[in-house]
């Protein structure tokens, strides 16, 4: 007598409880009742013959068996999402859902100005934006394509290197009027610096410029890059930010321009099997063109027709 495999509903329930930490929160996420969620977890445990969660004062704690199942369950969820995105896309047309993974700063400060021409040209597109500095796993279809600041390594990916975005050091004009402009890197010891908290990659970049005591020099620490820039815009200190974004803000003034030589390389990346899909290819090509313009000119949006006409 064959044993029926666990249902996808039960596996979705498992992943939701694993990520939310309680039956009630997982039920709200999936839009079902708490008793339904409890019965799905019980059915899955009975089918697998293992205990997946134990109760504690902190909620439901996953057992070692549950932790071992986390990665394949998450991969199945990504594959299911990709299946639905593909199924909702009319064949041969630039339409349907495309999931794009970008770093938080790019998603907040750069990408919005790039999207209107794309969506005007292809009104059937539906974009899903995943903003995170963690790289989405494209080989497991966690996203359809991504903008990355680190070189991709997988052979299954189609990549396009765009160039490098220069980094500058910026402060609010009121902050600099009160504290003075630093003339040398050594002067930063007398200023309030806004920078990373626990991000090893960002701390390494800071040490590359400021030396081994970089972490001690940072007086306001947060790993979220848009939050760092928001703090500088509030006059709380100096911040390292993408030069095109900083220079476009009239509230900010760049300092130590000759001394700051950092730059971020940029790639547009897609899974080789998805790149040929019309909806993914359209977004891929648009991002390549828009990011190339951004790197070369500092403009995230399209060329202003009025300005273009004034040069003709």
Tens of pLDDT, residue by residue over 86-114, are 665 566 678 888 999 999 999 999 999 99
Question: CB-hemisphere CA count at 13 Å for 206?
Answer: 25
Model confidence over 120-158: pLDDT tens digits? 999 999 999 999 888 777 777 788 899 998 887 767 788
Rounded CA separation 191/39 (Å): 58
Distance CA 312, CA 307 (A): 9
Least Cα distance to 104 among 228, 15, 214 occurs for 228
Q: Is 206 exposed, middle or buried (0-12, 13-18, 19+ CB in 10 A)?
A: buried
Q: How many CA atoms lie within 13 A of 103 on its CB side?
A: 21
Question: How far is the CA of 17 from the CAs of 98, 130, 144, 292, in angstroms?
Answer: 27, 21, 26, 42
pLDDT of 86:
65
The predicted pLDDT at position 90 comes to 62
Spell out, as residue ranges, where the chain has pLDDT lower than 70.
Answer: 1-4, 57-58, 77-78, 80-92, 154, 303-312
Determine the pLDDT at residue 226: 96
């Amino acid at each position: 007598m064959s044993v029926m495999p666990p249902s996808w509903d039960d596996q979705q329930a498992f992943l939701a409880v694993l990520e939310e930490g309680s039956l009630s929160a997982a039920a709200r996420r999936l839009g079902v009742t708490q008793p339904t969620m409890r019965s799905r977890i019980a059915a899955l445990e009975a089918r697998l013959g293992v205990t997946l969660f134990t109760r504690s004062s902190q909620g439901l704690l996953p057992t070692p068996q549950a932790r071992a199942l986390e990665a394949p369950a998450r991969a199945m969820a990504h594959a299911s999402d990709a299946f639905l995105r593909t199924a909702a896309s009319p064949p041969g047309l630039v339409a349907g859902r495309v999931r794009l993974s970008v770093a938080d700063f790019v998603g907040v400060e750069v990408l919005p100005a790039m999207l209107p021409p794309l969506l005007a040209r292809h009104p059937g597109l539906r974009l899903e934006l995943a903003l995170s500095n963690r790289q989405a796993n494209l080989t497991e279809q966690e996203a359809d394509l991504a903008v990355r600041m680190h070189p991709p390594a997988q052979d299954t990916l189609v990549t396009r290197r765009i160039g490098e975005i220069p980094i500058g050091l910026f402060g609010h004009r009121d902050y600099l009027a009160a504290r003075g402009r630093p003339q040398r890197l050594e002067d930063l010891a007398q200023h309030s610096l806004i920078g990373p908290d626990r991000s090893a990659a960002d701390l390494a970049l800071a040490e590359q410029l400021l030396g081994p005591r970089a972490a001690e020099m940072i007086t306001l620490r947060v790993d979220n890059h848009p939050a760092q820039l928001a703090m500088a815009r509030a006059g709380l200190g100096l911040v390292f930010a993408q030069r095109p974004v900083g220079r476009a803000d009239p509230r900010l003034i760049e300092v130590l321009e000759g001394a700051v030589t950092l730059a971020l390389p940029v790639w547009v990346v897609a899974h080789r099997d998805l790149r040929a899909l019309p909806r993914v290819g359209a977004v891929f090509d648009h991002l390549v063109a828009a990011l190339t313009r951004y790197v070369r000119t500092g403009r995230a949006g399209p060329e202003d027709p009025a300005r273009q006409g004034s040069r003709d």
